Amino acid sequence: MIANNYTTYEEKTMAVGEQLFLPAPARITATRMLNPLNKVFQIELPDGLSLGHRPGQFVEVSVLGVGEAPISISSSPSRSNGSFELCVRKVGDVTAALHSLEPGATVGIRGPFGRGFPIEKFRGKDMLFAPGGLGLAPLRSLINQVLDERALFGRVIILYGARNPEELLFKYELAEWAERPDIEFHVSVDRGDETWKGNVGVITTLFRNISIYPRNTVAFTVGPPVMYRFVLMELLGKGLSEGNIYLSLERHMKCGVGKCGHCQINNVYACQSGPVFPYSEIKGLEEAL
């Protein structure tokens, strides 16, 4: 069913100003534990609305009586099917309350918010993805969108780093990516265990395995702030231009829509101008990295 001629929640949000602050009651339709700290939620909006997001955007998720937190949309628009996915790490009150919820439970959703990746600009380009840890959650949305439109892009290179084998997310998809001849997939963990046969070392050690054509390559990196400096050094060292390196800046956010100032980086609101930025736009901002 389509409510009031809106087909996406974004259209409805834009049309009805108050919706920016009013969560829609949405239903959890499936959950999957990836490891003890990270759980994936499949969520459906009311009235058959689709979220209408672009990769890199986030939603504000609320649990009644507990609070609200910004969470990246982890599924790609191309795989929406009337629902979307969030990958949530249990770190505090809201995320712990979310982890206790099972299919059938209701959560509040506001969004999609923020500026996502301008995917149309990347057609014909070689795509280099360098997610670290939970950074795979937002980048997975872009990666799967690119894979679903595979013919429109050049090489797809994925360099994924995690602290240890248990913390690798979406292992079932990683196994598929590793098998595909049209993806150059490399993975590393900071510390191996008795089961791990792959590369050991921080994510930057994977850059040795690849050569790229910098003028035709766009790179995307999302991960813990400490990672950015080193990944940027690798990418710039390989000759990528600052405008062709995209990263996502996560800040403490409240409103998500440029009203409260919680996410301010110098004179920029990360919730509105970001969280996705080309490096060229933020390298001059003292508080960005």
Ligand X SMILES: Cc1cc2nc3c(=O)[nH]c(=O)nc-3n(C[C@H](O)[C@H](O)[C@H](O)COP(=O)(O)OP(=O)(O)OC[C@H]3O[C@@H](n4cnc5c(N)ncnc54)[C@H](O)[C@@H]3O)c2cc1C
| Contacting positions for ligand FES (CB under 6 A) | 253-256, 258-263, 269, 271
**94: contact with ligand X by CB under 6 A:** yes
**135: contact with ligand X by CB under 6 A:** no
**214: contact with ligand X by CB under 6 A:** no
256 interface partner picked from ligand FES, ligand X, none, CB below 5 to 8 A per type:
ligand FES
CA distance 121 to 87: 27
**225: contact with ligand X by CB under 6 A:** no
Q: How far is the CB of 259 from ligand FES (least distance, A)?
A: 5
Q: How far is the CB of 162 from ligand X (least distance, A)?
A: 14
95 interface partner picked from ligand X, ligand FES, none, CB below 5 to 8 A per type:
ligand X
237 interface partner picked from ligand FES, ligand X, none, CB below 5 to 8 A per type:
none
Q: Which is nearer to ligand X, 197 or 252 (CB)?
A: 252
Which structure tokens are listed for 87? Answer: 């990958």
Q: Which is nearer to ligand FES, 109 or 143 (CB)?
A: 109
48, 82, 92, 224: which one contacts ligand X (CB under 6 A)?
92
The stretch near ligand X (CB under 6 A) out of 81-89, 100-108, 169-177, 234-242 is: 81-89
**258: contact with ligand X by CB under 6 A:** no
162 interface partner picked from ligand X, ligand FES, none, CB below 5 to 8 A per type:
none
**224: contact with ligand X by CB under 6 A:** no
| DSSP class per residue in the chain | --STT--BHHHHHHHSGGGGTSPEEEEEEEEEEEETTEEEEEEE-GGG-B----TT-EEEEEETTTEEEEEEB-S-GGG-TTEEEEEEE--SHHHHHHHT--TT-EEEEEEEESB---GGGGTTSEEEEEEBGGGHHHHHHHHHHHHHTGGGSS-EEEEEEESSGGG---HHHHHHHHH-TT-EEEEEESS--TT--SEES-GGGGGGG----GGGEEEEEES-HHHHHHHHHHHHHTT--GGGEEEE-----SSSSSSS-TTEETTEEHHHH-BEEEHHHHTT-TTT-
Q: How far is the CB of 246 from ligand FES (least distance, A)?
A: 19
Strands 126-131 and 156-162: parallel
Q: How far is the CB of 67 from ligand FES (least distance, A)?
A: 14
Q: Which residues bind ligand X (CB under 6 A)?
A: 58, 67, 69-72, 87-89, 91-95, 134, 137, 250-253, 275
